[in-house]
A = this chain, B = another copy of it.
């Protein structure tokens, strides 16, 4: 794969990893292609059972492509993250072009009898954005896209409220039985306890806080609250109806489980109030009972998203092209501490702190790139399903917050669905709304495949005609 598809300043190439299964594939059957995300592709292959489930009935090949600079796809090996001159090639447009090259290779060389195969892309979250953008930018390569939980509009000047993420987190928790009052009280109690030595000692012990990240001064309350916030945000994302292990191993309906801790009508002082949060953290980080301590300061030990691998990859994208304004506006909009407004200045400072070591400079941040490049509307796109879960905080930036159809662009809402729930494999506990959405998705995929086959035939005919009918 060329490291740079759009300039010709070097001809460095690298190997891009992909997983492939052609067991169900029959001649000219479709290729189901997952547009990999900000992490090792194996995790996505495991958590995207939908593609595997439906491959046999469509006689489809299943492919999972790893995104450059994630998992085992490190273009410069151990130096991939070392400096701007290397890491700079981690960008969404380059990734899309990788996928196009891979698709051409698969169709023409890797998979026999796939030359005219319809190509359907699937993706969730950032991968969902890539799936949608594949169809808008390369409609001659991709016949249709399932873009699940893809916050394609979560950028500047696209009119997404910057606090919508935490509004939805709050809605999911409150609708799952959490007492808003208790959660607000818990933050207050943590802050009060953190004011004294005794209180901090109690917090450090109670929360089993790792040595390196112990609370030592009053302001450390913020770190603990921030840590709990991240857990709650993640839990809203993975609020599936059954045991699952996406960001962390969790029981079914984890938010409802957590909310059981937040229901006591009369709390007995700050310690009992704060303890509710500990129970939630223990559920999120220690449902298996094996975690012994919590690291509440991600810069001191290890962060919440380390599970996805390449912990600096997404921050790099966020500090260059994927600038997604996000903050909490506090009660009554959400139940977190207010840190709105989001400002580019503050964000740039964070980026400098993180990436100074690479030679990063603020000029590398292009906060308007995504909207300029991919658009805040899709005037000519067709054959995309945007699916979003009502429980999922990312749904706030998806295409339409309600079910709708515009031409062949479709917005589907999984009423009791979390983050790309529809992409998961079928499960006995599946809700009726996810089953319905998956069935609709299958209908759209069938139509796209039919259309693609017709178009391919027509195209071949026209090409032959052109060859024979030279106008001289």
Contact = CB atoms under 8 A, between A and B. Distances in A.
Interface of A: 2, 4-11, 13, 84-91, 93-94, 97, 100-101, 104, 136-141, 158-161, 164, 167-168, 170-171, 320-321, 333-334, 361, 363-364, 366, 368-369, 372-382, 390, 396, 401, 455, 459, 463-464, 466-467, 469-472
Contact of A164 (B140, B363, B470): B470
Contacts of A171: 471-472
A104 B469 CA distance: 43
A88 B455 contact: no
25 contacts: A6-B7, A6-B93, A7-B7, A8-B88, A8-B89, A8-B91, A8-B321, A9-B84, A9-B85, A9-B86, A97-B373, A104-B368, A137-B137, A138-B373, A139-B378, A139-B381, A159-B466, A159-B467, A160-B466, A161-B470, A167-B471, A168-B472, A390-B471, A401-B469, A401-B471
A463 B153 CA distance: 11
A450 to B, nearest CB: 14
Nearest to A166: B472
B89 A7 contact: yes
Nearest to A464: B159
A472 B377 contact: no
Given A159-B463, A377-B140, A84 B5 contact: no
Nearest to A159: B463
A382 B4 CA distance: 29
Nearest to A360: B8
A401 B361 CA distance: 51
Contacts of A167: 470-472
B375 A138 contact: yes
Contacts of A378: 139-140
A320 B8 contact: yes
Contact of A140 (B86, B93, B375): B375
- Output the residue of A9, A91, A363, A471 with the most chain B CB within 10 A: A9
A247 to B, nearest CB: 23
Given A104-B372, A140-B377, A377-B455, 8 more contacts: A6-B93, A7-B89, A139-B379, A140-B378, A141-B372, A159-B464, A380-B380, A401-B469
A126 B464 CA distance: 25
A6 B472 contact: no
Contacts of A84: 8-10
B471 A141 contact: no
A91 to B, nearest CB: 6
Contacts of A334: 472
Contacts of A469: 401
B377 A459 contact: yes
B471 A168 contact: yes
Contacts of A10: 84-85, 88
B320 A379 contact: no
Contacts of A376: 140
Contacts of A168: 471-472
A146 to B, nearest CB: 17
A91 B459 contact: no
Contacts of A320: 8
Contact of A380 (B366, B381, B459, B463): B381
A401 B465 CA distance: 11
A380 B139 contact: yes
Given A470-B164, A472-B167, A9 B137 contact: no
Nearest to A2: B366
- Output the residue of A7, A86, A89, A104 with the most chain B CB within 10 A: A7
A91 B372 contact: no
A9 B88 contact: yes
The 9 A-B pairs of least Cβ separation, nearest first, read A140-B375, A9-B88, A11-B363, A8-B88, A159-B463, A139-B380, A167-B472, A6-B93, A6-B6
Contacts of A380: 136, 139, 380-382
